[in-house]
Structure 1
């Protein structure tokens, strides 16, 4: 939604190298008065097709780099944008199609707003249902105790440990054995110079076949600030190890905010205490 309020920042459009991003307007675009500033060597030449502006960077922009874009419609309306790298807050990737509306009460604008609201409502409904189930889940309760480092209050015993680090973080992990359950506790220290660390997702799959399995996850904080540490705890029930009636090994992976895999551990059925 285009805004004329003086306090509103320039609209960001997030782009990636060799990925096409299209801006779609309600009216035709004036080719002669639509331009990029300082784009040479970083983007392919700007393409305008009727009411669409097509962008394609040759390579990723730097985190602190921004390229201004001025779009002028045939009715004289001007809209300013700033092309940016998605960064860690937009780790899902580049914008694919950006629909731009001037009149918030037009049919197309209201239809887009309705679809967005329905999508957000569906997401919130799913989250509420997931939270409701987690509140009564034994595995999530155990994961919460492990995340708060109250290991003595759980039935788990230490079975193994490992550690590793890269330029942005350090990870110390402990693998625990329990009665009919296995747990892993990752202690993550954020050593990045600028960005906080956060858990994007956790994935538990069978070693043979890669079939997804349920895993209870708890974290101590949504974001780990620079120089600080946080804990990610995972609890796996014995039923997850069953594959067509036979016990099988599992792979547990955790992914950080930019989509990269931060840690990986193989869980064998032998960890299940009797």
Structure 2
């Protein structure tokens, strides 16, 4: 049985900026709306009426930001470099009618879903036509996400996903799978342990990831299962993707902690259009780097 565990580096995937809508109301108890920025990227605040350049300002921006600009109904904010998580800057926008709107400019978070704002559409009257149209769009977007989550849950209601859920909890004895090999690899910022398991018409890999980063959580961005020809080395760009079951015991792994990822593969995946084939499991972490890969020999499901 052949098994290879290595770490490699792929091109990092930038976090895609986002466009979002905020709805402000005349409530003195409301906190200043937060605006999430990242270094050398312009964030645009878009209003329903022009702003007053002379009375729109940011406190303590010197040396940290390009001077704030008002361009018609838009305010442009650009940090010279990434902010620290604890950084907070007060942005006071004054509209043409004299209304003052405070915003808190801060850094993006460390979770994968926390992205910098590309554009923030600011609505003062939630009952206005433009605001209602934006709210309807937001509602439809949330409905799509819920539908996708429902479909994803339905797809995960399989025997392989049930096995993966047991493996991530360490319940080997409740499955027909048995450990065959154990590998250990220390990567920059994380330690990866991989246990290969086999059973009747099934193969699996249980990953134990220990996060050694002192401040940032570790999370999985993507896992891939690809056909592999002899001599090929990941990342695999022109291979055939195969279905598999994946389960994780947590969304992200805090600094100093460990988490488990389980991948279960059916024997049918070891056949490609060209005939029997080996498979490679690739794990990509939150910043887009390929954290590790495991080569699974097709003899796994026959031994």
TM-score normalised over the length of structure 1: 0.86
Query: In structure 1, how many angstroms separate the alpha carbons of the residues matched to 2:63 and 2:270?
Result: 52
**C-alpha deviation, 1:62, in angstroms:** 1.8
Query: In structure 2, how many angstroms separate the alpha carbons of the residues matched to 1:90 and 1:14?
Result: 14
Counterpart of 1:242 (choices 247, 271, 289) is 271
Q: 1:267 to 1:12 in 2, by over 3 A?
A: farther
Q: Is the 8 A contact 1:217 1:235 kept in 2?
A: yes
2:103 maps to 81
2:17 maps to none
Structure 1 stretches of 5 or more lacking a match?
none
Query: In structure 1, how many angstroms separate the alpha carbons of the residues matched to 2:121 and 2:240?
Result: 37
Q: 1:204 to 1:50 in 2, by over 3 A?
A: farther
Counterpart of 1:219 (choices 248, 255, 260) is 248
**C-alpha deviation, 1:101, in angstroms:** 0.8
SS state of the match for residue 96, structure 1? strand
Query: In structure 1, how many angstroms separate the alpha carbons of the residues matched to 2:294 and 2:283?
Result: 9
Query: In structure 2, how many angstroms separate the alpha carbons of the residues matched to 1:141 and 1:73?
Result: 56
Q: Are positions 1:231 and 2:252 aligned together?
A: no
Q: Is the 8 A contact 2:25 2:125 kept in 1?
A: no
1:61 maps to 83
Counterpart of 2:52 (choices 27, 30, 34) is 30
1:48 maps to 70
Q: Deviations over 1:92-138 (max 9, x none)?
A: 53211111111111111111111111111111112112212322x01
What are the within-5 Å matches in structure 2 for residues 1-274 of structure 1? 1-89=23-111, 91=113, 93-135=115-157, 137-165=158-186, 168-194=189-215, 196-206=217-227, 207=236, 209-225=238-254, 227-257=256-286, 259-273=288-302
Q: 1:16 to 1:212 in 2, by over 3 A?
A: farther
Q: Is the 8 A contact 1:91 1:259 kept in 2?
A: no
Q: Deviations over 1:217-264 (max 9, x none)?
A: 112234445544332111122333433233344332334455554443
SS state of the match for residue 69, structure 1? strand
SS state of the match for residue 103, structure 1? coil
SS state of the match for residue 49, structure 2? coil
Q: 1:234 to 1:105 in 2, by over 3 A?
A: same
TM-score normalised over the length of structure 2: 0.79
Query: In structure 2, how many angstroms separate the alpha carbons of the residues matched to 1:168 and 1:8?
Result: 40
Q: 1:268 to 1:74 in 2, by over 3 A?
A: farther
Task: Determine which structure has greater relative contact order: mean sequence separation of CA pairs < 8 Å that are 6+ residues apart, divided by chain length.
Answer: 2
Q: Is the 8 A contact 1:25 1:100 kept in 2?
A: yes
Structure 2 stretches of 5 or more lacking a match?
1-22, 228-235
Query: In structure 1, how many angstroms separate the alpha carbons of the residues matched to 2:28 and 2:276?
Result: 63
Q: 1:57 to 1:155 in 2, by over 3 A?
A: same
